[in-house]
Structure 1
Amino acid sequence: MQTSPDLSNPRFRWVIVVAAALLLGIAMGTLVNGLSAFVIPLEIHFGWSRAEVSAINSLGLIGIALGGIVMGFLADRIATRTICLIGAASLAAALLLAARAEALWQFYTLFFAAGFLGGGALFAPVIALVGGWFTASRGLAIGIASAGQGLGQGLVPFVAGHLIEVTGWANAFTLLGAFAGLTLLPLSLLMVPPPAQAAAAAAQKGAAPLLSPKLVLPALSIAVLGCCTGMAVPLMHLVPLIQGVCGVGAEAGGPLLIMLGAAVLGRVFFGRLADIIGPVQAWMAATSWQTALMLGFVFLGTMQGFWLFAPLYGFGYGGVMTGVLITVGTLTPPARRASATGIVLAFGWAGHALGGWQGGFVFDLTGGYFWTYANAVIAGLINLLIVGTIWLALRRRAQAGA
């Protein structure tokens, strides 16, 4: 009895991609910025500060960072499907328990655990698995899988905002937890490994990175820390920014939704671009776009302005994570791809945690969001400097070997 499908039907590779996109959309959409819709409701209900509430999300992202390292190493050794099932059950349970939480430490504990066991199991291992199914069009495949995450990051806060208005924040957590359990567990069962010949072909294609992993991993990790610190600010604080500027409620999630809808297209576009011009160059193009437009949000004063600007920013933002994921897969040995992805993304999630927290902290300190977004631009410039240095090093190494 076969445990995985025969590669003689190549279309099954795309079933894996679609299943991965759905899985990442639901799980990471909930953990990365799904709590943005809960910021003001939890503030009002419990009387906590913006920084204290933002830290719930930040601790979840720290959990993803640490869990991604552990689960990445495990995914190089045991079945990804098993790891995903653990992650799906953990995330659903944490959301259901959050509906009954009454103290800040309980939210911190639940979302750290959801990140460590849920997000850590449902990102780096899944992305590494998708890459292992492809010898050609790997960038496009990872871009599509990553696009699912982007769509989820728009839909989850949008749906959660309306659930909160209709049922209250506690019932919204219950409904999200039930939905996560009913969808993520079946999707996890589809996370099967490629047949041996496909895995060998994928390994052959990426068997000789131009730079030593001892240099690449630290450089990529610091670069990702910068880009994710920047991108976390609109993800976590765009909805509260719009609510404060425009005096609206759940409809503030609309621009975030369309921003992340545009990011879906951006993830696919920059994934395909990486296949054409190279992953590092595609990453540089996307992160330049994101950094150049970041500060524009604080100069908007109407809902119409947010609706028009959000998708323009979102298209470039969407390509950043695609560039990161493909670059890591290209510059690290195939046998260590899941663990390397977990290590680099640990810094990415730490950046998300830092960006989301500093957004609330600086808002409390200054009474506005200007310096929150300005700090995000500075983090993006640091990322560009490091990625540009990596590109120059790769170019010189390639020229020396020519």
Structure 2
Amino acid sequence: MNSYQKESIETPYGWVVIFCSLILNTIGLGGPNILFVSLKPIAADLDTLRWVPSFAYSLMMLGAGVGGILMGLWMDRKGIWQPALFGSLMIAFGAFMVSFTEGRWTLWVANGLLIGLLGKSAMIAPLVANGMKWFDRRRGLAVAIIASGQGLAGVIWPPLFQYSNDLFGWRQTFLYFAIFALCVMLPLVWLIRKRPPVQNKQTEIKSTKMIDEPSQGISPWTLQVLLWFAVLCCCSAMAMPVVHLVSYGTDLGHSAAHAARLLSVLMGVAFFSRIAFGMLSDRIGPVVTLLIGSASQATMLLVFAAVDTLFSLYIAAALFGLGFAGIMPCYPLIIRLWFPISQVGWRVAAQYLLAGIGMAIGGSMAGHIFDVTGTYKFAFIGGFAFNVIHLIIVSSLFIRFRKNRTKLQTA
């Protein structure tokens, strides 16, 4: 056993924290998934256009992003226990409130304020930031497991919510989800209440020795703003098929059950792909991993715009899930690599805020484009354009990183 392994802070209980965080994240992501599946019946029941429930999703993602910074600061001061407990209660209360909504404003407040700002916000950046503190050698895998809750949620929730919608209606589905969230999330929060181990100083030096490399010739704030703009673009593109895939499938004449399974296939592949990308990131680095995921996502957005048969949609959904899953887990790892550990908490939360804004823009924009054009194809093409901008930004940072590393090695 080498000296680095002896100095590692990793313990078996760290994996308990990671997998409990995974389940919490999965349940928290039930909020947006229930909107994906219920978007059309909600619009029909409230006698409104499709942009109204789409905007509820946008408010949820925006609220989760803003709230993530507040929850991250709360976690830094008090640990993960209090914000995770509060967030769990708010998710349950918000879903309960949606089940009784009679108009757009109640729908927006319940999803944007309760589920998003006060609830789901505790299930994103705080869980990831807390999970990273338990690991030094397998940090990429740990972050990927927590983040793979998005894929796991996509496998579990869409068919379950669709079945419940068909059997009981969307209001009862929200009510049952609220009860389930309350009963399951509270025990899991209790299991992750412990504070992470203190980082070994020598290990910290080893893991942060590359911090200054990418920022030579570029200020930390410029670097951070570029990362924010990058995640804004990639998540705007990402949201378009993720939010509207079920509706897109039914618009093409396929059954609601098949359309819901499309999202399940996408998220199911994403679950396993995200873990694989985490392991890949530990080997080749998060920047290259991010480029691979982004290029794959851009390609599949064009494919979505071109296909319409059920078989081709299943293939497109699977390949989209394979690529987009590798994107978001890379950002906390890049921040951990390029910035001091004392700044990781708020920077990760801010990154997720911009991701939420991007998801909000993409989800709402796709709804508006559909209302104007009657098709989602133009939305997917617009998403491709966003993704190209993302690739340009990340590629530029990668080239600068490689040049600076070469200079340091030859100096």
What is the TM-score of this pair, normalised by structure 1?
A: 0.94
- Distance in 1 between the 2:254 and 2:230 partners? 36
Note the 1:193-212 alignment, pairs <5 A. Answer: 193-197=195-199, 201=203, 205-206=207-208, 209-210=211-212, 211=215, 212=219
1:120 is aligned to 121
Note the 1:99-138 alignment, pairs <5 A. Answer: 99-113=99-113, 114-138=115-139
2:4 is aligned to none
1:174 is aligned to 175
The range that moved more, 240-249 or 361-370, is: 240-249
1:226-262 Cα deviation digits (max 9, x unpaired): 0100110111011000011024123311011011111
2:272 is aligned to 265
- Asked if 1:37 corresponds to 2:33, the answer is no
1:182-228 Cα deviation digits (max 9, x unpaired): 11112122223212256984576236622253232211110000010
Alignment CA distance shift 1:229-1:8 (3 Å)? closer
Asked if the contact 2:63/2:121 (under 8 Å) is kept, the reply is yes
Q: CA deviation at 1:276?
A: 0.9
Q: Which runs of 5+ in 2 are unaligned?
A: 1-7
SS at match of 1:120: helix
Q: CA deviation at 1:309?
A: 2.4
Note the 1:1-400 alignment, pairs <5 A. Answer: 10-27=11-28, 29-113=29-113, 114-191=115-192, 192-197=194-199, 201=203, 205-206=207-208, 209-210=211-212, 211=215, 212-400=219-407
Report the RMSD for the aligned CA atoms in angstroms: 1.8
- Distance in 1 between the 2:257 and 2:201 partners? 46
Asked if the contact 1:26/1:149 (under 8 Å) is kept, the reply is no
1:94-145 Cα deviation digits (max 9, x unpaired): 0011101111011111111111111111110110111111110111111111
1:3 is aligned to none
Q: CA deviation at 1:30?
A: 1.9
- Distance in 2 between the 1:200 and 1:357 partners? 47
- Distance in 2 between the 1:141 and 1:199 partners? 21
Alignment CA distance shift 1:208-1:176 (3 Å)? same
SS at match of 2:101: coil
- Distance in 1 between the 2:345 and 2:408 partners? 28
Q: CA deviation at 1:401?
A: 2.1
- Distance in 2 between the 1:235 and 1:203 partners? 40
Q: CA deviation at 1:167?
A: 0.6
SS at match of 2:327: helix
The range that moved more, 350-359 or 385-394, is: 385-394
Alignment CA distance shift 1:397-1:8 (3 Å)? closer
SS at match of 1:91: helix
Could you tell me which amino acid in structure 2 is paired with residue 94 of structure 1? G
- Distance in 2 between the 1:213 and 1:30 partners? 36
Asked if the contact 1:36/1:237 (under 8 Å) is kept, the reply is yes
Asked if the contact 1:230/1:379 (under 8 Å) is kept, the reply is yes
Structure 1 vs Structure 2: percent identity of aligned residues? 28
Q: Which runs of 5+ in 1 are unaligned?
A: 1-6
The range that moved more, 120-129 or 193-202, is: 193-202
Asked if the contact 2:35/2:53 (under 8 Å) is kept, the reply is no
1:4 is aligned to none
What is the TM-score of this pair, normalised by structure 2?
A: 0.92
1:290-326 Cα deviation digits (max 9, x unpaired): 1111121232222222222211221111111122232
Asked if the contact 2:300/2:316 (under 8 Å) is kept, the reply is no
SS at match of 1:373: helix
Could you tell me which amino acid in structure 2 is paired with residue 298 of structure 1? A
- Distance in 1 between the 2:338 and 2:157 partners? 33
- Distance in 1 between the 2:325 and 2:76 partners? 27
Asked if the contact 1:359/1:369 (under 8 Å) is kept, the reply is yes
SS at match of 2:123: coil
Q: CA deviation at 1:327?
A: 1.7
Q: CA deviation at 1:8?
A: 8.7
The range that moved more, 376-385 or 249-258, is: 249-258
Q: CA deviation at 1:382?
A: 0.8
Asked if the contact 2:61/2:360 (under 8 Å) is kept, the reply is yes
Q: CA deviation at 1:41?
A: 0.5
Asked if the contact 1:246/1:303 (under 8 Å) is kept, the reply is no
The range that moved more, 364-373 or 243-252, is: 243-252
Could you tell me which amino acid in structure 2 is paired with residue 337 of structure 1? V
Q: CA deviation at 1:61?
A: 0.6
Alignment CA distance shift 1:8-1:225 (3 Å)? closer
Asked if the contact 1:231/1:317 (under 8 Å) is kept, the reply is yes
The range that moved more, 198-207 or 84-93, is: 198-207
